[in-house]
A and B are shown apart, each in its own frame.
Chain A
């Protein structure tokens, strides 16, 4: 009898201990992830279920925003951003579709960005949140600046430095065009200092002004590093203006040149040997290592892609960089950037200022390139047609094509395309160096 009692007691205490630890574990789990706490299923009438369903629809969520809903970065949002702001953003996504499909504006990026923006603004589903797939894409490759680097490898594998190697001094035009970046930086901080319209920090102003480099991946790289909260607006501005190069640049180019300058014929480019092309990417990288190691993530990736291409022995790898890899990354990059088009981050006053400053940055860069070419013509040596100066902004190869087109308007026989490719690819290097300078300042 006594032993039985002891056994019973033991069994009870054991059970108690187990249940105690179990409940402890349960409360711990409930504390860390309250959302996981399961509700017991309750039986409801059909009418009640219909009402509940109606409350979970998108229409209801837009008309009656959930007061407890947090934005994808975990901050409280106002009712406008939860409700009609989302509708406006979805309409903006439709506008991006229209621009990409009907007008042919950089469709490769604007379509994924636009669709990402559409998905990011869906109420209830929280696709751009930490556990939504757009949020996952953003964390996977944008928050750590990985995707822009991969894009840079692909761009490197697609770039031919031949025109630059055969006329090295045109690299200066690619440098002058970076004035667009730093000029706009001064503009952005001046706006902050002397007006009440905007309030940008130095980091934010730097991230915005890099739009003037007209280089999408560099803009995204710098924006995620210095001002991730402005990424959506900066990326959209950057790619929109790259698409608008043929509209923005020609009036500036024509205003700054006279008829005689526009008809300057440049000497034919000399042949560049394979050895020179092979040494070039390594040489650029060595220079970057010596002068500005902060620029080597971008320049290193670029040199890697170009080296694979020029080596001529890894056709398959170079082909993958130029096609498969850059395409896959473009999809993810676009969607990830689109996730930053959520109403609470895009529908703010700063966005308009960013669009305006980006346009100024772009125009100033174009003008600086043209003026640099005119300056270089004051010195002895082969004359440079100032129309290729505008190609110093790095939008490859669009800016070079624009130089060629404007040149042909004045002289049908004047082919400037290859001459303009020199400053164009130098512009890519120039904006990567400018980005490196910004990183080194804030490091």
Chain B
């Protein structure tokens, strides 16, 4: 990578930026889930690694969250953008060199930011934990260059129209910059009190709603038609998805503070808008499922389709929870409990991760023109992720319901802690399965790059998956 940073743009092979983003993303995924598993162990066994400030839960929890959001998920997005945007515009990436610098600065900034967080230096605001200099760095050296590369590639496309995936990519890169700059205003200008509290959750909500969810969905709009060979079922439904994300997902930020003192009109408005999240969700899931018509055998046979469809199927419970758990009728019971933790993992580790994993599998094979090194390892990766995640989700959902019951029936808190203990162990086991699956994945992709069978010109890697 280093030798290309100072090379002429023309001399850099196409797809280099995507490859480096892809491997960075996998490595951050291993780190992020490793930290998650370590943290979970501490919740199950509080004296596991004790007496050291730097291995205290309060120092590590945010490092796990930020590593998976801005390391794994966002870098996998960048990887997808680096190869999917030009593929859909029938051209080359606007600047491979900018892409490589973007990747380099991203890894550098994230390493710095996580080190600072690990030391406890934080803004004290959930999801916008990074101190404001790091936030400014992420906006200017990470998201703005990424956006420029995507927008310029789309502007220089050689197709007449713009495909669904690219609308989402162009809009989401724009929106994430806006979200970063506005969501951190309390830190830039020392805004205090409820304004700070509300903007914290405005950022947290919109970074999920206007960055992670739409880009993950956009990836599925590419992967499924590309791998199955079926055209997208409906562009109109794609339009509905896009516009309803922009309108309905950008408005319910206040529902994260449903039982906090905020103006009541704001909470009621947010709650109604929050239910409308079902519009983009149903549009997206139905569009992808209908695109699968006649190709359902690939759900069994093909690793990318299996990951993508599983992720899309997880969008159903995700949005059913998301739409309704924020209404007053349900929120009073589950607010602040493990239920929400389970829901957050369903969104990030279930829905979105499964779609990105497919994009990284497909991208690395097609850019390097090498067949997957081991389909067995890929299958193990899939099942470890799915079973590990399910264990996590089920145990945390049950723990959350116990906690909710404890909350309304005035159970002494320590009894809730005791009742949750078995589920904390299950959570740790589930998280560790995900972590070990990712180590296998890193090995598999590394060996694919090194030793994978070369895919002949004009063939797609998945066509040869079962050929020797």
Are the chains A and B members of one assembly? no
Which A residues form the contact surface with B (CB < 8 A)?
none
Taking Cβ atoms with an 8 Å cutoff, the residues of B that contact A are: none
